[in-house]
Structure 1
Amino acid sequence: MALNKDQNDIGIILPFKNEELYLQDCLTSISEQRFPHFKVFMVDDHSTDGSFKIAQQHCVNDERFTLLKNNGKGVISALHLASKQVKCKFISRMDGDDLMPKNKLESLLQAIEKLPENYIISGRVKYFSSDPISDGYQKYENWLNQVCLHDEFEKFIFRECTLPACSWIMHTNFFRNHSHFESLQLPEDYHLLLNWWRAGAAFKGLDTITHYWRDHNRRTSKTSTAYDIDSFFRLKIKVLQETGALQNANVIVWGKGPKAKLLEHNLKEQQIVYTPINNPNKAVDQLQSQLTKKTKILSVIGSNNNLKKSIDFFEAMGLKNNYDFFLL
């Protein structure tokens, strides 16, 4: 692969905290990349174990790595500090407990190097663990990879974080101009994705694995309430409000069950008036009678089959995804 290293260096930002069990394997997987022209900016977020010493020694062994200490607190501050060091044309992220396939940087760079600055490239992801992967995580992996293969990142962007953490590459200028760290909140990967989407990002998926997610009980997504479903719903409502989508709108909650109740709870907290349609299969006439130019449908349909039916139904009525209706 003929790549101009001066034009195509990649900056990798890597925050970590108390990852001594996995950090060395992570760093080794980066050092062993087929594409060698990268720089890694690691930020220690106040670790209390041996993580800092592991990272420090790796910097001695591989001069492409730089180690910093977080002068703030938390992953957002660490990411911001790391990103400010990046002078490379492209940027990617890594987590200290995960692994890179050997062809990750090579594959991502080949896909993005000739595309406009607003493009974000992502590949497929794969969970691994010393224990069996649960059915729930396996289904999530399969769903994310189908989104990637069919370039449906925007279609389902309000349903889940469709851009898997650490699977992507993008232009550093776009990242720096549109990440908005000063107002970023947890869950940070999802907020970053929504910020990039609002700024006009274009997404393209690769049919190759670009990231190995390590599943273990200490993952932040499992231990912190900042990554629970309620936090995601709060962020979705916040972003929809900021875009003006819900301003003076005729808001309809389409669906029933726990997600619908959680959505309605968040709407009430924000004093957003809405109409619930709890049985969409029997409420077609009710919806049609309420449709106006200001109608915004927040769909919380659960199963994939019913979701597809809802999408087909909305589109048959001339409604546009992420404008007239949103798949939450």
Structure 2
Amino acid sequence: MVNPLVSIVIPFKDVDEYFEECLNSILNQTYKNWEVIAINDHSSDNSLAIANTFATKDARFKIYSNDESGIITALRKAYRHSKGEYITRMDADDHMTKDRIEIMVTSLIQKGKGHLAVGKVKYFSEKGVNDGYDRYEKWLNKLTASGDNFKEIYKECVIPSPCWMVHRADFEACDAFNPDRYPEDYDLAFRFYEKGLQCIPCTTTLHYWRDYDHRTSRTSEHYAQNYFLDIKLFYFLKLELQPTHKLVVWGAGKKGKTIASSLVEKDIQFHWVCDNQKKIGKDIYGVKLLHYSALKNLEHSKTIITVANEEEQVQIKSFFQKLNLKPAIDYYFFC
């Protein structure tokens, strides 16, 4: 199909300060065959009025109200009203480059179904971008440039939300916006990974992320660290661990203890290792901590690594290399 319709789904709530810039960035796209399905999630400011102004002037903007509440239910409603052959998401407080839709559509037409279009992203903020976001942006863009996003999916969300586009049939196969798991963008990334979609490498910045104090990802409990760990462990147990594998947790810090506690609660057997002499030999949650060298005697192991220190991660990689064990196959960094 020449110039297929693209559905851009947008949940919005109390973003009147930024919403016009967002919608104008869509209006100014070089690619013209799109529709915006925007869902008002009970805004108390002028966001709905701004959306309706755009809809009055251009029928491609279609505005609805959320019958329930929350981003996931808003996304579901938007998708139900969408008609496009391709689906993409947009956040109401961000803006896209004028060629984002055209670049993504072109790459998906060239590659066909089974592929996921992504693009580089750029954070911006009136107060300046903090070091954490800067590191995340550089890490994510490096993966996006090579299309190797899924190789490090257990570290952090590897799909630059909302800078992705996918064929409708593939989106349906990934269960669209149906799951209730938060963070919803990270959960969707895992479902893209589960269904074997291939990321199309992109070296172009297509999306600008706005950071500010009351952005939802900063204020909602649904984006707290424990939710990220829950999703990581859920999909790891579902997709990576087989009955013949010996499960290992490496690290006894906060994240390591959280994962260990969850495994004990699920009655899943595992070995727990670390390099902290003060913790080795201790019994925590009924599991004895061992020195990491115990891995040398464990065949068919799958190791979850919860050590965040970058220098220590380098040493851990070297240890596994000496054992001829491979990243994202035999061991997985969860931070």
Asked if 2 retains the 8 angstrom alpha-carbon contact of 1:246 and 1:296, the reply is no
Q: What is the distance in 1 between the residues matched to 2:40 and 2:102?
A: 27
1:299 to 298, 301, 305: 305
With 92-101 and 128-137 compared, the bigger mean Cα shift is at 128-137
Taking the aligned partners of 2:84 and 2:75, their CA distance within structure 1 comes to 16
Instruction: Return the alpha-carbon distance in structure 2 between the equivalents of residues 9 and 257 of structure 1.
Output: 49
Separation in 2, partners of 1:15, 1:90 = 18
Residues 1:205 and 2:201 are matched in the alignment: yes
Q: Report the CA distance shift for 1:48/1:179 in structure 2 as closer, same or farther (over 3 A).
A: same
Output one character per residue of 1:233-290: Cα deviation in whole Å (capped at 9) or x when no partner: 011112223336165742211234333233223333333332221119995641111x
Q: Sort the Cα spacing of 1:224 and 1:251 in 2 relative to 1 into closer, same or farther, 3 A.
A: same
Distance 2:215 2:144 in 1: 23
1:103 equivalent to 2:99? Answer yes
Q: Is the 8 A contact 1:179 1:196 kept in 2?
A: no
SS in 2 for 1:207: coil
Q: Per-residue displacement from partner, 1:58-90 (whole Å, max 9, x unpaired)? A: 101222111111122211111111112222221
2:254 aligned residue: 258
Q: Which runs of 5+ in 2 are unaligned?
A: 278-289
Q: Deviations over 1:134-162 (max 9, x none)?
A: 11211111111112123221110011001
Question: What does 1:1-328 correspond to in 2, within 5 Å?
Answer: 4-5=2-3, 8-243=4-239, 245=241, 247=243, 249-279=245-275, 283=291, 285-289=293-297, 291-293=298-300, 295-328=301-334
The aligned counterpart of 2:283 is none
- SS of match in other structure, 2:96: coil
Q: Which residue of 1 aligns with 2:281?
A: none
In 2, Cα distance between the equivalents of 1:308 and 1:154? 20
2: CA distance, partners of 1:209 / 1:173: 26
Q: What is the CA distance between 1:102 and its match in structure 2? A: 1.1
Does structure 2 retain, via aligned residues, the 8 Å contact 1:184–1:192? no
CA contact (8 A) 1:40 1:66 kept: yes
Is the deviation greater in 103-112 or in 90-99? 103-112
Deviation at 1:309, TM superposition (A): 4.3
Q: Is the 8 A contact 1:254 1:300 kept in 2?
A: yes
String of CA shifts for 1:199-231, please: whole Å, max 9, x gaps.
Answer: 111112311111100001111111012111111
Structure 1 runs not aligned, ≥5 long: none
Partner of 1:238: helix, strand, or coil? helix
Q: Indicate conservation of the 8 Å contact 1:245/1:323, yes or no.
A: no
Moved over 6 A (4+): none
**Contact 1:14 1:93 (C-alpha < 8 Å) held by counterparts:** yes
Rate the CA distance shift 1:4–1:181 in 2: closer, same or farther, 3 A.
closer
Structure 1 residue 308, shift from structure 2 partner: 4.2
Paired-residue identity, %:
30
Aligned residue in 1 for 2:284: none
Q: Write the distance in 2 (CA, Å) between the matches of 1:165 and 1:280.
A: 37
1:43 Cα deviation from its structure 2 partner:
0.8
* Cα RMSD (Å): 2.3
Q: Normalised by the size of structure 1, how large is the TM-score? A: 0.90
**Number of residue equivalences:** 322
Cα distance in 2 between the residues matched to 1:233 and 1:129: 27
